[in-house]
Each structure stands twice: as C-alpha cells, then as structure tokens.
C-alpha cells in the first residue's frame, strides 16, 4: 500500500515526489507553494505556479481558495476576499461559495470542494507517476495548536500591494485594481521584493515594464519602511505564542529549542519577535517548504504496513471544545454537556446513557465559538430513531457513543437501546447467572475500544464526569443522563438484605438485550449523497477529457519534435544518407508541416497529427536506418571476422597435432572448418556488394543479419572446440595371495590413528565381539 502526503491545509508519502512536483512547477528549479487550476476550452491545467510565471487567463485561473472552505457566500470574509480575486465567486444553492469559470467553451459553476478535489487528484497522479505504484491513502497537514488564520505571507504581500497601488495612482494616474492582470503582476513583484528585503536592508527598486497602457512603473522600498508598513501584523505574532504556552502548560524556560519553518518566518522582523519572546536564538535549519511534507511522509510511514520506523507516538488533540445539547423528555428545558474538552486526546470515544420513551435529537456544537476561526459554531444534528418505552411503560436506556475519529471529525457513531424481554426456559439458568453478576463483563465479548469512557452521573446530584483520568465538575444534567455502573452496588445491597428473609415467590426470568438504533446525521456543510455522486461523476468526466486532450497534445508535440529534429540532422549527420533530390523535397515537406501546425493544424483531432507523423516517417525512417546501419555495420563485421580467425586458428592447430585438441574427433573438426569457410565466403560476398553501394542507398546487409550470422557460427563451432579432454584414471594396486596386503596395512594404520574413538552406532546394530555386553533377563 502506498501513501501520499501534501504540505499545507486541505491538500494529500510525498517527499519522493516533492522534487518531481517542484520540477513540474518551475523550469528554474524553484518551487512556490501556490496551487493553481487553470480552465481552458478543452481541458484543465493543474499544478503549482512558478515564481515568475505569467498567468495567461486570469479570469479562468483559480488559486488561494483554501480559506473558503466551511464558509457561506454571505460571510464578510468572503465578501472582502472576492475584491482581490481574478476569478468570480458566486453563491451556491446551499449558500456556500461557488467559483464560476469557462470550461469547454461553456460557463461552469464549481464548489470549493470540487476545486480542492481537482487539486488532490493532480497531486495523487504526480505521486503515483513518481512512485510507480498506486496511492491508496494520504496524510493531510493542518494548522497546529495555536495559530492566526489571518497572519501569513499573503497578508504581508497585501500590505506592499496596497502601498504601491496608492503610489502608482498618485504618481502615474493608474488604478492597478481596475485591471486584474496588472494587479496579479504587482502581487508577483511585491512578493519578490519582500524576499529580497529579507537579505538586504538598503533601498530596493520595484520595476514593472508595460504595467498598464504601455506605461512602465517603478518604486522603491527598504526593510525599515516595510516593517513600519506591517507594524500591525508584527504585533499579532505574540498572541499565538502566548496561546501555545497556555495550551501546552509550559513556561518559556521549559522550551529548550525553537525551530521555525515557513517562508514568512524568514522575515527578519518576524524572527526577531519570536527570538525575543522565547529569550533564545531560533533555528532555521529545516527547509521551509519541505519540512511539512517530510512530517507528513513520516506519518504515512507510521501508518503504512510497508514501512518500519522507530517506535514513537504522536497524540492528536481536539483543538476546540465540543458540547452536546438536547431537549428533556416532556420538558421545555435543554440539557447541555461538554463531551470533549479543549486539547482532548484523539481519536477517542465516550458512551452516554439517556432515559427516553421516544426518538430524540442531539445537537453538537463548539463550546467556545469565539475561539473557532469560522463564523459557524454548529457541527450537526443527530436524530436517534426507533426509541420506544419498555413494556411496563418505563423509560428505555439508550446508550449513545460519541467519537472524534483519527481524522479529527466528530460524530455519533452508534446508538443502542437496552430492552428487557422474557427469557425462554432453556435460557433461564444462564439469565439467572447474568442477573447475579451484573457488573461482570463477559470474557467472550470484551470492550475492544480502549479509548472509550463511560460518562456517569446520578439523577438529581452534581455529576462527576471522568475525562482524561481526572474528575471535573460539570453543570447539573438532565435526570435522563444516568449511570449504569453507579446502580450496580444497589443491586448487591438488595441481595444482602434478602439473605435472612423467607424465600419469595419465583419471579419470571428477564433477559436484557441491546437493540441497535439507526441515527440520522445532518452535518453542517456536509454534501448530500446525490450531490456527492454528481460531483464524483463530473470529476470522472473531466479526468477523461483531460486524458484525451493530453493524448491529442502529445500527438501534436510528436509531429513538431520530428520536424525540428530531422531538419537539423538533414543538414548534419543525415546529409550523406539521402540523395540531393530527396533532400530538397523532404526539407520542403518539413517546412510545410511546420506552417500547417501553426495555422490550420493548430487545433486538429489526434488522428490528424498521427497521419502527419506517419507521412513524414515514410521518408525519414529509411534515412535514419541508413545512418544507424552505417554506424553499426562495421562493428558487426569486425566481430564476425574475429570469430572466424579464432575458429580457423583452432582448426590449424588441430591439423598440426596440437595436444590441446587431439581428443577431438576429426569428423567434428571438419564440420568446424566447413562452417568457417561458408561464413567467410558469405562475409566476403556481402562486403564486396556493400562496397559498391553509396551511402544514400539501402544497405545490402544489416547489422542484425551479421549478428545472426555470428550466433549461427558460434552455435556450430563452440560445442566442438570446447570439448573437455577425457579423464585418465590411475591404476589400482591388486592384492596377491602371497604378496603384501597394502590395503590391510592402511586399515591397521587407520585404526591406530583412530584409537579411542567411539565407533558409530546405528539403531538395531549388534556388536558380538564387544567386551562390554548387556545382560537381559527373559521371562
């Protein structure tokens, strides 16, 4: 399983493909973390904007859309941001933010979620192409514990843009905001100026040629002026740092080292503010762009079974406290309970118990709306359905499991109703055992979720909710929010009182079962199933269209490359391999094809380009083959000649009675001589015929044929000349009746050398001559 990681906000093991993405984003090798999606008449172009890249279609190029997630179109933030955008923002039917562009020569409206999905699809494709395997999962980086969503590099850029817009309006009478292309160019130049001021404190120029109406503009700025311009932004830096220490419950002296990442942290004034706050030097050793991507890649390696990493744990936290509110059964008042406090560990689950006679609704919301960087504090509504009273009219116990999953998403995962039903006769004994030990868990059904808590409280008393191993006082809950565990001791006391009393009439056996209940979830800004399926279908069609357009462009580029390549080589290495008449005709055809590409062939179907390429290759391929054959053929002839000399020498040595080959049969060696003579004759004939041909004519023999001849010669001769000599066995000494028995002496000598060694034993062997015997009594 492969995984992918993407730095920054809502985006997707990607350190390997990081360099690939950087190369695609800019020919100069620099990479700017600004994702853009440009819509054209036939396809989409998705990638990262290069540092000095000019945006050709600003109205159809979407960027800086990350902060639009989770906001309504009527949000004041959206209304303010839309003034500085090159594309149009429009309201969606659900009140969300939509982006209007021209695509396939038609006007299309895309939601922010669709635009983000397009970017993720592109990043997934980039990672898969680089990793050479499918990507199935991803890790997305999000903002940390303490942050200011309106304090970043873009905000510093805007300060410079506003300054120079006012300066150009007063100096040149030009309103940069009236021309979106001019405004985008100003943003690019201001960003470059900001980076230059980080390393230079002197006055730096800002020059833009043909800014508006063929007018060149210029200005200047130094670091001190820039810091004065951004004084309000610099004052905001300490607030997140104070919040960070408060949430982590650390003091400044507890921090041993500070590492800062991100492009804006390279501004000297920002570095100075952070260093002064912590009272120590700060480190900038990590690559500002790659740091987040590497962290995501590490998290991917931890989650993936394909990688083994050093053991360490990272505990995620719930950044904002989450509460539940509900209506009392048959009452107008509401009950409120904070289920997850701020910075609560995640993933985590809790179980709440309600007493109800019918379906009820729970509403989840952020307890501290002011701390949430979005105007909407509601999370969603959850309706627990199919709840009914017990048969005796009593309220039913409903267990609700609330959870923050590994992605930080809150949900009510399950709900179940405790129902009492009469037990069958054959189940009576087991039910009685269960009723006697109600507080014992069945070992066969242990609680598999170690991160599940019971929130318990007695009716009408001050509750104590166990959270993170601590007892924290909560507001008085509804009498319906009850405890199962706290009622267990009461049952035990009742059993103790009955010990000395006479036996009562036998009560009917009752079995307790948990009935799963359906939950209807209505999350804020959640896409409906029908809408989501429509978005998926639309994205699939656009992916297919992008693929077809890529194939068409590849076919067109292939024709263009062939024209340029062959025209250069016809006046170079290929010139000798085509006759003068064909040379002139081919050059004319190449020129005509080039003109066609930039005129009527500018926007043709894929097949038109394929046909053009085939037409050119009919003439060009033979020329290319002659050139390659003229280069490879002499090498093959030389190799064949060396093999012929080798086998001819062996045959001569055999005739001269060389002892190295006297073991070879004469008839076999004659076959070698015959093969050598035949191949030599063939080589002489084709070489003579080839010598009569000019370079602009097709060759008589090709390098591949010579290579096949070498293989044929080796197959015929090599098995014969490499025959091994037969081994000569040395004569053995025979035993004579009266002569010395040398073998016997060797055995005696061997026996003396092995004196004291234990003879080998095998199961079932007997040694009758052994001195030590075993006495056995037989009955």
Kindly provide the b/e burial profile for residues 520-545, where b requires at least 16 CB atoms within 10 angstroms of the residue's own CB: eeeeebebeeeeeeebeeeeeebeee
Which part of the chain is CATH 3.30.30.30?
A: 36-132
CA angle (399 as vertex; 396, 400 as ends), nearest 5: 130
Whole-model pTM? 0.69
- C-alpha–C-alpha distance, residues 772 and 779, integer Å: 23
Q: Which pLDDT value is given to residue 46?
A: 67
Q: Which pLDDT value is given to residue 58?
A: 81
DSSP state letter for 528 = P
C-alpha dihedral (264, 265, 271, 274), degrees to nearest 10:
110
Q: Where are the alpha helices (DSSP H) in 692-757?
A: 703-721, 742-753
Q: How many CB atoms lie within 10 A of CB 430?
A: 12
Q: What's the token pair of residue 66?
A: 């990350």
DSSP letters spanning 669-700: HHHHHHHHHHHHHHHHHHHHHHHTS-TTS--S
What's the whole-number average pLDDT of the chain?
Answer: 80
Sort strands 348-356 and 452-454 into parallel, antiparallel or unpaired.
Answer: parallel
CA angle (116 as vertex; 68, 404 as ends), nearest 5: 80
pLDDT in tens, 159-215: 999 999 999 999 999 999 888 889 989 999 999 999 999 999 999 999 999 999 999
- C-alpha–C-alpha distance, residues 52 and 54, integer Å: 6
If one compares 29 and 635, the residue with the highest pLDDT of the two is 635
If one compares 145 and 777, the residue with the highest pLDDT of the two is 145
- Specify the CATH architecture of the domain 528-721: Up-down Bundle (1.20)
Percent share of the chain, pLDDT over 90:
50
pLDDT in tens, 412-432: 999 999 988 777 655 544 444
- C-alpha–C-alpha distance, residues 268 and 275, integer Å: 10
Q: How many residues does the chain have?
A: 779
Instruction: Report whether 710 contacts 647 (CB < 8 A).
Output: no
Which part of the chain is CATH 1.20.1270.10?
A: 528-721
In angstroms, what CA-CA distances link 687 with 205, 482, 702? 72, 102, 11
- C-alpha–C-alpha distance, residues 119 and 768, integer Å: 90
If one compares 527 and 474, the residue with the highest pLDDT of the two is 527
* Max mean pLDDT range (11-15, 307-311, 454-458, 702-706): 702-706
pLDDT in tens, 447-487: 334 455 555 433 333 333 333 333 333 343 444 454 343 33
Radius of gyration of the chain (CA): 43
Beta strands in 141-239 (DSSP E): 204-212, 215-221
Q: How confident is the model at residue 736 (pLDDT cuts 50, 70, 90)?
A: low
Residue 570 predicted with pLDDT over 90: yes
As to burial, measured by CB atoms within 10 angstroms (0-12 exposed, 13-18 middle, 19+ buried), residue 620 is buried
Across the range 328-334, mean pLDDT stands at 68
pLDDT in tens, 531-568: 999 999 999 999 999 899 999 999 999 999 999 999 99
Instruction: Report whether 323 contacts 364 (CB < 8 A).
Output: yes
- C-alpha–C-alpha distance, residues 177 and 184, integer Å: 9
Dihedral (CA of 474, 478, 479, 481) sign: negative
Specify the CATH number of the domain 320-421.
Answer: 2.60.34.10
Which part of the chain is CATH 3.90.640.10?
A: 153-231
Q: Which pLDDT value is given to residue 331?
A: 62
Across the range 622-641, mean pLDDT stands at 95
Nearest partner of 61 among 81, 96, 26, 88, judged by Cα? 88
Q: Which pLDDT value is given to residue 316?
A: 86
**153-231 adopts what CATH topology?**
Actin; Chain A, domain 4 (3.90.640)
Q: What's the token pair of residue 329?
A: 């059964």
Q: What's the token pair of residue 119?
A: 């970017």
Sort strands 396-404 and 410-422 into parallel, antiparallel or unpaired.
Answer: antiparallel
Q: Which pLDDT value is given to residue 444?
A: 39
- Reduced to 3 states (helix: H, G, I; strand: E, B; else coil), residue 630 is helix
Instruction: Report whether 118 contacts 44 (CB < 8 A).
Output: yes
Specify the CATH number of the domain 36-132.
Answer: 3.30.30.30
Residue 691 predicted with pLDDT over 90: yes
Q: What's the token pair of residue 101?
A: 């562009």
Q: How confident is the model at residue 7 (pLDDT cuts 50, 70, 90)?
A: very low
Instruction: Report whether 362 contacts 384 (CB < 8 A).
Output: yes
Residue 12 predicted with pLDDT over 70: no
- C-alpha–C-alpha distance, residues 276 and 274, integer Å: 5
Instruction: Report whether 182 contacts 189 (CB < 8 A).
Output: no
Q: Which pLDDT value is given to residue 711?
A: 95
Q: What's the token pair of residue 684?
A: 């002489």
Q: Which of 391-405, 434-448, 642-656, 706-720 has the least mean pLDDT?
A: 434-448
Q: What's the token pair of residue 417?
A: 């109703």
Kindly provide the b/e burial profile for residues 64-95, where b requires at least 16 CB atoms within 10 angstroms of the residue's own CB: ebebbbbbbbebebbeebeebbbbebeebeee
């Amino acid at each position: 399983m492969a995984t992918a990681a993407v730095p920054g906000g809502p985006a997707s093991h990607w350190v390997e493909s990081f360099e690939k993405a950087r190369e695609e984003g800019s020919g100069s090798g620099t990479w700017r973390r600004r994702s853009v999606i440009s819509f054209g008449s036939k396809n989409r172009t998705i990638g990262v904007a290069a540092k000095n890249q000019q945006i050709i279609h600003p109205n159809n190029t979407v960027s800086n859309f990350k902060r639009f997630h989770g906001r309504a179109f009527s949000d004041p933030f959206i209304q303010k941001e839309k003034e500085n955008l090159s594309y149009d923002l429009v309201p969606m039917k659900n009140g969300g933010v939509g982006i209007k562009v021209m695509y396939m020569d038609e006007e299309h409206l895309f939601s922010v979620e669709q635009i983000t999905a397009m970017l993720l699809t592109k990043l997934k494709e980039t990672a898969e192409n680089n990793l050479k395997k499918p990507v199935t999962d991803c890790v997305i980086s999000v903002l940390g514990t303490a942050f200011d969503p309106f304090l970043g590099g873009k905000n510093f850029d805007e300060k410079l843009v506003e300054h120079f817009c006012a300066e150009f309006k007063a100096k040149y009478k030009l309103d940069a905001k009236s021309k979106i292309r001019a405004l985008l160019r100003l943003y690019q130049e201001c960003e470059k100026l900001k980076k230059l001021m980080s390393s230079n404190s002197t006055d730096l120029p800002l020059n833009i040629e043909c800014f508006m109406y063929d007018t060149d503009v210029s200005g200047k700025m130094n670091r001190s002026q820039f810091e004065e311009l951004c004084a309000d932004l610099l004052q905001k830096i300490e607030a997140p740092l104070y919040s960070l220490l408060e949430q982590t419950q650390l003091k400044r002296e507890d921090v041993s080292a500070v590492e800062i990442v991100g492009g804006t942290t390279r501004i000297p004034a920002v570095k100075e503010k952070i260093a002064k706050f912590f009272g120590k030097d700060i480190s900038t050793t990590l690559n500002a762009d790659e740091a987040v991507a590497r962290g995501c890649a590490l998290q991917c390696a931890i989650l993936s079974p394909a990688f083994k990493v050093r053991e360490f744990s990272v505990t995620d936290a719930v950044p904002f406290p989450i509460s539940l509110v509900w209506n009392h059964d048959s009452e107008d008042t509401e009950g409120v309970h904070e289920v997850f406090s701020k910075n609560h560990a995640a993933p985590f689950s809790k179980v709440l118990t309600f007493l109800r006679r019918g379906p009820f609704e729970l509403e989840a919301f952020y307890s501290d709306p002011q701390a949430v960087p979005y105007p909407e504090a509601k999370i969603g509504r959850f309706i627990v359905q199919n709840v009914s009273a017990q048969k005796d009219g009593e309220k039913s116990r409903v267990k609700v499991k609330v959870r923050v999953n590994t992605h930080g998403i809150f949900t009510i995962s399950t709900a179940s109703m405790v129902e009492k039903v009469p037990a069958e006769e054959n189940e009576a004994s087991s039910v009685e055992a269960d009723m006697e030990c109600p507080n014992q868990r069945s070992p066969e059904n242990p609680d598999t979720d170690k991160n599940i808590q019971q929130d318990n409280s007695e009716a009408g008393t001050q509750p104590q909710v166990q959270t993170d191993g601590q007892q924290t006082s909560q507001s008085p809950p509804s009498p319906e929010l009850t405890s199962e565990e706290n009622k267990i001791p009461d049952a035990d006391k009742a059993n103790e009182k009955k010990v000395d009393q006479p036996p009562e009439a036998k009560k009917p056996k009752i079995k307790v079962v948990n009935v799963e209940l359906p939950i209807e979830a209505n999350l804020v800004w959640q896409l409906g199933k029908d809408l989501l399926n429509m978005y998926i279908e639309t994205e699939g069609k656009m992916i297919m269209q992008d693929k077809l357009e890529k194939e068409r462009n590849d076919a067109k580029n292939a024709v263009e490359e062939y024209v340029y390549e062959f025209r250069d080589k016809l006046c170079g290495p290929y010139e000798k391999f085509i006759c003068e008449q064909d040379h002139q005709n081919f050059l004319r055809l190449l020129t005509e094809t080039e003109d066609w590409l930039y005129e009527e062939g500018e926007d043709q179907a894929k097949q038109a380009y394929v046909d053009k390429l085939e037409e050119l290759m009919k003439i060009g391929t033979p020329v290319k083959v002659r050139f390659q054959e003229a280069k490879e053929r002499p090498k093959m002839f030389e190799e064949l000649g060396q093999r012929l000399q080798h086998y001819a020498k062996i045959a001569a040595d055999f005739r001269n009675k060389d002892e190295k080959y006297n073991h070879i049969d004469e008839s076999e060696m004659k076959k070698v001589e015959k093969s050598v003579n035949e191949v030599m004759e063939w080589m002489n004939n084709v070489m003579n015929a080839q010598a009569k041909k000019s370079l602009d004519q097709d060759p008589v023999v090709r390098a591949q044929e010579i290579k096949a001849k070498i293989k044929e010669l080796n197959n015929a001769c090599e098995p014969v000349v490499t025959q091994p000599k037969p081994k000569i066995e040395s004569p053995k000494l025979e035993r004579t009746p009266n002569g010395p028995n040398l073998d016997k002496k060797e055995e005696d000598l061997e026996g003396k050398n092995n004196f004291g060694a234990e003879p080998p034993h095998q199961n079932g062997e007997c040694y009758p001559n052994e001195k030590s015997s075993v006495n056995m009594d037989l009955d």
